[in-house]
Amino acid sequence: TLPLLEATGLTRHYLMRRGLFGRPVEVRAVNGVSLALERGRTLGLVGESGCGKSTTGRLVLGLERPDAGGVAFEGQPMPPPGTPAWRALRARMQMVFQDPLGALDRRMSIGAQIAEPLEIHRIGDRPERVAQLLRDVGLRPDQAGRYPHELSGGQRQRAVLARALATEPALLVCDEPISALDVSIQAQVMNLLVELQARLSTAILFVSHDLRAVRQVSHRVAVMYLGRIVEEGEPDAVLHDPAHPYAQALVSAIPHPGRRQRRVLLQGDPPNPADRPSGCAFHPRCPAALPLCAQEDPVLKPRPGDGRRVACHVAQGDLPARKAA
Ligand code: SF4
Ligand code: MG
């Protein structure tokens, strides 16, 4: 079946000046990302900050224009951002950000803010629909008159979700939706997402650095490093038995009782998108790197027999793994 959303070769670079008199350098925030999302499914997008996962989320929604590549929604190319066709489509795609307070207008009651998209998209019977949306996210209809500062962080993120769901979007991009919440509230909001998805068949792009949360909600997982997807597959495979050396390091950093894999410590500097190494961008930090890795950029491709895609010469079996010393 046709995926709901298909992104191909998404690329986004911008010029950044280092210091007042520095020459501008080209930063490749997103560098050829292809991904697909099915209806009612969640794709978790993980990686360290600066890897391009948030930019990928915005490119997918057309909130930023790609320099190359494109997005198809329900098999049709995404109309140019800002056009009436794009605005009509936007009702079917929503974004939830990390900071619910920043996403809400503090001078408006949450009921009025949830009603706003209903007005813009001319969806009728607003008071009843607002009440239903509040119930859907576990708030009470009589809380519609509350202002953002009168709610807790978890309640505010629920209100943001209610507003995002008002137009019954087919796609929800969630960028670190629980990072600003207390740990005790995070599980509630995660459960809510899973429950709403089951009910509404919403596809979710879940952008997060929290591997546990990603594993809990995702049907597929993609690991990004310096603007590229380096591994993509089922959460059990990618987050329990990663094939790419960077994914291995990322996963090994979370303590996990019963896992036998040792912690992989990364050498070298953290990734800097303004200073992308040659060949495989991970090679200066990679414990498995071979001389060829500094010259040849590995392509993300399916690994025969295990349903995942990996961008690594060694994990692909193109090169012999270096023997452990
Ligand atoms: Fe490491 Fe080479 Fe694989 Fe890159 S291609 S992750 S440097 S082994
Ligand atoms: Mg981010």
Pocket of ligand 1 (CB under 6 A): 244-245, 280, 282-283, 286, 288-290, 293, 298, 312-314
pLDDT for the residue numbered 90: 84
Q: Could you tell which of 312, 316, 318, 322 is best to mutate to test the pocket of ligand 1, judged by most ligand atoms within 8 Å of the CB?
A: 312
CA-245 nearest atom, ligand 1: 6
Contact 226, 283 (CB under 8 A): no
113-124 per-position pLDDT tens digit: 999 988 888 777
Residue identifier of the C-alpha nearest atom 5 of ligand 1: 312
pLDDT for the residue numbered 267: 74
pLDDT for the residue numbered 319: 64
Ligand 2 center–CA 50 separation, angstroms: 7
pLDDT for the residue numbered 260: 59
Contacts of 135 (CB under 8 A, 6+ apart): 141
Ligand 1 center–CA 179 separation, angstroms: 30
pLDDT for the residue numbered 258: 61
Ligand 1 center–CA 138 separation, angstroms: 46
CA-230 nearest atom, ligand 1: 6
pLDDT for the residue numbered 262: 65
**Ranges in the chain, pLDDT < 50:** 325
Q: Could you tell which of 223, 248, 314, 319 is best to mutate to test the pocket of ligand 1, judged by most ligand atoms within 8 Å of the CB?
A: 314
pLDDT for the residue numbered 183: 83
| Rounded-to-integer distance, Cα 110 and Cα 146, Å | 6
Residue 75, number of CB atoms within 10 A of its CB: 10
pLDDT for the residue numbered 80: 86
Ligand 1 center–CA 305 separation, angstroms: 20
CA-280 nearest atom, ligand 1: 4
Ligand 1 center–CA 4 separation, angstroms: 32
pTM of the model: 0.90
